[in-house]
Amino acid sequence: MPILDQGYQHWDGKLAGHAFRWLAITRQGVKAQFKNRWLVSTLVGALAPALLLAGFLILWGLFEQQATVLEPFLFLFQGLPDEVRHGPKGFRTTFWTLAFTLFFRVQTFFAFVLVMLVGPDLISQDLRFNALPLYLSRPLRRVDYFLGKLGVIATFLLGIMLIPAILAYLIGLAFSMDPAVLPQTWRVLAASAAYGAILAASTGLLMLALSSLSRNSRFVTAIWVGLWMLGGAAADASRRTPAREWAPLASYPADLASVRDALFDYDAQWDRLADVFRKGREAMQDAAGFGGRPRRPRIFGIPFGPPPPRDGLGPPEPPSPPGLTNADPARPPWPWAAGVLAGLGVASAVVLSTRVRSLDRLK
């Protein structure tokens, strides 16, 4: 019986161009991350807010059309002011904006956890196992290497933020049955895309820079957690100083929140809703003739906002929608927060450039 030893065979396939070479790094990185059970659990958990967002947009669309299918659930809307109940289309932009803002607020937490799970190994392990000569001696530039690694983080973040937001938006479009919805809510979609991109780029660059600082990924994880927590603590501590207005700038999550709210025009939409609720409360108080205690406003049957004063004579306060507050202390204008994020990005790029050297300077 002949023994067939093929040994080395020549390969005459076609090699791809250089433009998307970084995708190979991203693909390999994403594939490798799925071995982590914690990561998979976090991804599954991050689906819940997306489902809730989609569910809200479906309910809102049906509510706008006063759909009969919604009749058993109309009690959920009893707490809304008459102005909203009788003309929900006029408040579409406001409610969509608040819903998407709440979604991104929750997803930012999941993003923090995901970056913590995905990011620390990305460069620190390459430094530990001296993988850079293997990368850079192939047809890759340093920028391809960075893009590939950034792509791993961006893939997961966009997967839990941008893609669900777009899908929810499309579902909202489908259930609104109104061509006016696009011109009214385009800003929500644009802000979602912009915030998703900013969050992915900012956290990705920052984590890559941290990952390049140590060959031990546990240290990197600790620095990342510390950055989020200590930044917030420093901001809280600074609020007791005369420069309290600028204190939020010390907190990385607060800077992200400031930029997010500016992109969604959250403050203006919130003020509008608060105004409507204030008028609604005043109407309730007038109707009650201050003789009885007015009920708390409700959305979907859930009371929210501070309880009305017992004597019914106190100044009316606008309620807070669930999960949202308008009680943020004074914060600096959002361009300052954007400036801090940009500065962190530049600093991260400098750290990366210093720590991940070309073979010209590698031993």
Would you say 25 or 111 has its CB closer to another protein? 25
Closest residue by Cα to residue 56 from 169, 202, 210, 215: 169
N- to C-terminal Cα distance for the chain?
52
Would you say 215 or 293 has its CB closer to another protein? 215
Helix (H) or strand (E) holding 281: helix 266-288
CB of residue 131 vs another protein: minimum separation in angstroms?
Answer: 5
Sequence-separated (6 or more) residues with CB below 8 Å from residue 201 = 150, 154, 345
CB of residue 363 vs another protein: minimum separation in angstroms?
Answer: 8
CB of residue 15 vs another protein: minimum separation in angstroms?
Answer: 4
Closest residue by Cα to residue 65 from 180, 182, 178, 184: 178
Residue 103 buriedness (CB in 10 A; 0-12 / 13-18 / 19+): buried
Strands 298-299 and 302-303: antiparallel
CB of residue 37 vs another protein: minimum separation in angstroms?
Answer: 15
Torsions phi, psi for 321 (to 5 deg): -60, 155
Interface contacts to another protein, rule CB under 8 A: 6-13, 15-18, 21, 24-25, 27-28, 32, 121, 125-126, 128-141, 358-360, 363
CB of residue 252 vs another protein: minimum separation in angstroms?
Answer: 28
User: Residue 186 is which amino acid?
Assistant: W
Would you say 148 or 253 has its CB closer to another protein? 148
CB of residue 7 vs another protein: minimum separation in angstroms?
Answer: 6
Sequence-separated (6 or more) residues with CB below 8 Å from residue 353 = 142
Would you say 28 or 354 has its CB closer to another protein? 28
Would you say 25 or 99 has its CB closer to another protein? 25
Give CA 196 to chain center in angstroms: 6
User: Residue 157 is which amino acid?
Assistant: L
Would you say 25 or 227 has its CB closer to another protein? 25
Would you say 24 or 283 has its CB closer to another protein? 24
CB of residue 28 vs another protein: minimum separation in angstroms?
Answer: 5
Is residue 274 within 8 Å of 318, Cβ to Cβ? yes
Would you say 15 or 69 has its CB closer to another protein? 15
CA 295/CA 215 separation, integer angstroms: 59
CB of residue 113 vs another protein: minimum separation in angstroms?
Answer: 21
Residue 7 buriedness (CB in 10 A; 0-12 / 13-18 / 19+): exposed
CA 297/CA 301 separation, integer angstroms: 9
User: Residue 41 is which amino acid?
Assistant: S
